[in-house]
Amino acid sequence: MPLRSYQHQTLTNVYQSIAKGHHAIVIQQPPRTGKTVIMAEIAKRATAKHNRVLTIVHRQELTKQTQKTFVSWGVDMDYCRVGMVQTMTRHVKDLKNPQVIIIDEAHHAIAASYKRIVTAYPKAIVLMFTATPYRLSGQGMAEVADDLIPGLQVSDLIEMGFLAHMEYFAPPDINTKLLKRQRGEYTDASIDNALSKRVFGNAVDQYKLHADGLKAIAYCHSVQSAKRLAAEFNKSGISALEVDGTTPKDERSRAVQRFKNGDITVLTNVELFTEGLDLPNVDCVIQLRPTQSLSLYLQFSMRAMNPRKGKTAIILDHVENWKRFGLPTDDREWTLDQEGTNKQRAKGKIKAPAIKTCKVCFGTFYTNTVKDGKCPLCGADLPKEAPEEPKQVEGDLVKIGQKSVSERRLDRVHRLQNQSMMSELSGKSFHDLRTMNELQIYAKLRHYKPGWAYYQAKERGII
């Protein structure tokens, strides 16, 4: 199968970056756009010249899947090793020195285990693939990379036919009664409370209303809720199975195969079908789990966006994830040193260990001091607490409007204008602004009120 046009361009950009002297490169590619194929082509070219390639993934399932793709693509596996980061970290001293290190889902690469591998081979070219080049903590990747190659925008890939069109359905509005103000703005805690403690609409009813008959993946927040949802689908005459991390691998594989064959219409799961897993025939995604991770959100949402002639993917967001991150089709700009949405949300919060009280001795203690499920003070067995179930709010999901092609293009023009203006102000502080034009640019970039530039110009004697 030949490479797609954007995959060719990505390869060209990678080799140009290497030619410029970069040795640690982040390659951003949206989900569902075949980054494993790009990785395979790079490995194929490298091993053809007898250069050794080390490819690092973070889950066992991805090891086998990546190896299968590499072999089918013609990679010389005598010169290529694919393995989990946990395994590679333990055997760093035993590995033959690679000339190229490829890291899949590289937003994990700031972790110490990845750093240990990379620092062991300082002469290797490190290529880091990810859809979202920052971690859940909000850290950018400037700490581990010296260049970033962005992929095409999701909206462009849809226009080109490489991703399916989509329709996005979500609750009609946030529960404003739960919002509290502080200095004129809603507090982070109240926003989290309003967004994450409810599930809007009955999942089975909304599936029937908006996606009846389509093959669907449901992302649930707990094993209990995933099992219950599968039972509700089956009770309604819609074939469904539940799988989670505790499901035996053979049973999980059979469930996935039955889904692919069409024997099962809905698969409910807990954190399984996110990064990397190949499920090409999904037409609907049901989000019942709130997340603070843009990476997870895009993986959830875009799971159904593999293209097929005439297809429109249906995304049912019962927990308002889109309010945190925007729609999957929104344009996004990536930089190595950016702060992620997650870090901005977390500012001002102080994490402390949770506290628990024993019902036998009434002693109070930190939960991280509990061992073997017993009270650290009296030794009594502590009852297991089921995870808090979000409250279901009745109502229908509504279609969320997307920007038109012309609106997105206008947004890009404005971004380019802002970038141009920023370059004009490069290296200048507020006190260095000396012309009316510079003051107007500064005001526009910071969304100051009309008249600010005029007032500052008068103050400085410019006019």
Q: Give the pLDDT confidence of 257-286 residue by residue, as tens digits.
A: 999 999 999 999 987 766 556 676 899 999
Q: How many CA atoms lie within 13 A of 153 on its CB side?
A: 14
User: What is the tens place of the pLDDT at every residue in 391-403?
Assistant: 677 788 888 877 6
Residue 416 reports pLDDT greater than 80: no
Whole-angstrom distance, CA of residue 216 vs CA of residue 461: 65
In DSSP terms, 103 is beta-bridged to: 56, 128
Choice among 41-45, 168-172, 183-187, 374-378 with the minimum mean pLDDT = 183-187
- Which has more confidence, 195 or 239? 239
Domains 5-153 and 158-325 share a fold: yes
- Which has more confidence, 264 or 411? 264
Q: Using 50, 70 and 90 to split pLDDT, how confident is the model at 194?
A: low
pLDDT of residue 106: 84
Token duo for residue 111: 């972790």
pLDDT of residue 404: 57
Strand runs labelled E in 349-459:
355-357, 364-366, 391-393, 398-400
Residue ranges covered by each domain of the chain: 5-153, 158-325, 405-460
| Average pLDDT rounded to a whole number, residues 114-137 | 86
Whole-angstrom distance, CA of residue 337 vs CA of residue 134: 9
Residue 201 reports pLDDT greater than 70: yes
- Just give the CATH number of 158-325: 3.40.50.300
User: What is the tens place of the pLDDT at every residue in 90-112?
Assistant: 888 888 899 999 999 887 777 77
User: What is the tens place of the pLDDT at every residue in 362-377?
Assistant: 677 767 778 878 888 7
- DSSP result, 67-127: HHHHHHHT--GGGEEEEEHHHHHHTGGGSPPPSEEEESSGGGTTSHHHHHHHHH-TTSEEE
User: What is the tens place of the pLDDT at every residue in 322-373?
Assistant: 888 889 999 888 888 755 544 433 333 334 456 677 777 767 776 777 887 8
Residue 196 reports pLDDT greater than 60: no
- Which has more confidence, 225 or 339? 225
- Which has more confidence, 115 or 179? 115
Token duo for residue 42: 């790079």
Q: Which among 294, 292, 289 has a CA at the least distance from the CA of 272?
A: 289
- Which has more confidence, 419 or 5? 5
pLDDT of residue 279: 72
pLDDT of residue 352: 43
Q: Using 50, 70 and 90 to split pLDDT, how confident is the model at 411?
A: low
Choice among 70-79, 157-166, 215-224, 370-379 with the minimum mean pLDDT = 370-379
Looking at domain 5-153, its CATH superfamily turns out to be: P-loop containing nucleotide triphosphate hydrolases (3.40.50.300)
Q: 268, 240 in Cβ contact below 8 A?
A: yes
pLDDT of residue 454: 83
Q: Which among 135, 137, 156, 218 has a CA at the least distance from the CA of 30?
A: 156
54 by DSSP, 3-state: which? strand
- The percentage of residues in the chain with a pLDDT greater than 70, rounded to a whole number, is 77
Residue 297 reports pLDDT greater than 80: yes
Structure pTM? 0.72
Mean pLDDT across the chain, nearest whole number? 82
